[in-house]
Amino acid sequence: MKRQLIGLFFIGAALLSLGWWMNRLMQPEETRTPGVRHDPDSYAEGLVVQTYDEQGALKQRLQSRGMRHFEKTGITELQQPILWHYNQQSPPLQMRAQDGLIRRSEESLHLAGGVVIDRPSGANTAPLHIVTQDLTLHFEDSFATTDGPVRIKSDDQWMTATGMEAWLKAPLRLKLLHEVRGYYEFQ
């Protein structure tokens, strides 16, 4: 009895395979679309890009050790990006990260992993040092945001928080979102 069932099973499998093969022969040949490329469409080493405002003043300067652009996805990967954001009334902000990602559809720069933001002291501004993670900068609005931990230090004063929104146009404004703690000296 078992031999008969096994034999019927193999005959059924052979008939199904033959039917599938005959069906494939009768259909027109499929035109195959090429798969998604994993190779970059363009790349650069030692990349420097500068943008200017309507008055011709330097607005931002992006420097990256390496850049790879993927046209199909609209994604540009940056290695060790450094971004300077310029204001006419204060020294520029410098943002550094290990990796960066620009999405064409969002017109934003995502600095992945640890991010360090520095601003030297100016005539009317104190030095600023910010350490955070996974910062997203929206170019058109000069607006940055993170949901990660934030530590801000300026002279002997410091603040920590979880999450931050930053308006980078002068005057610089920071909004700390959760679990804010700090030490501030009044003068």
Convert the pLDDT of each residue in 166-178 to its tens digit: 998 878 899 999 9
* Angle at alpha carbon of residue 79, lines to 75 and 82, rounded to 5°: 105
Query: 1 pLDDT band (50/70/90 cuts)?
Result: low
The arrangement of secondary structure in 42-183, i.e. its CATH architecture, is Sandwich (2.60)
Return d(Cα 124, Cα 113) in angstroms, integer: 32
Closest CA to 169 of 133, 135, 144: 144
Q: What is the pLDDT of residue 126?
A: 86
Q: Tell me, rounded to whole angstroms, the distance of Cα 9 from its chain centroid.
A: 55
Q: Write out the two tokens for 105.
A: 């559809």
How confident is the model over 176-185, as pLDDT tens digits? Answer: 999 999 998 8
Q: What is the mean pLDDT of the chain?
A: 85
Query: Which residues on adjacent β-strands are paired with residue 136?
Result: 110, 145
Average pLDDT over residues 127-142: 91
Q: Check pLDDT > 50 for residue 72.
A: yes
- Give the pTM: 0.74
Q: Tell me, rounded to whole angstroms, the distance of Cα 16 from its chain centroid.
A: 50
Q: Write out the two tokens for 126.
A: 């104190």
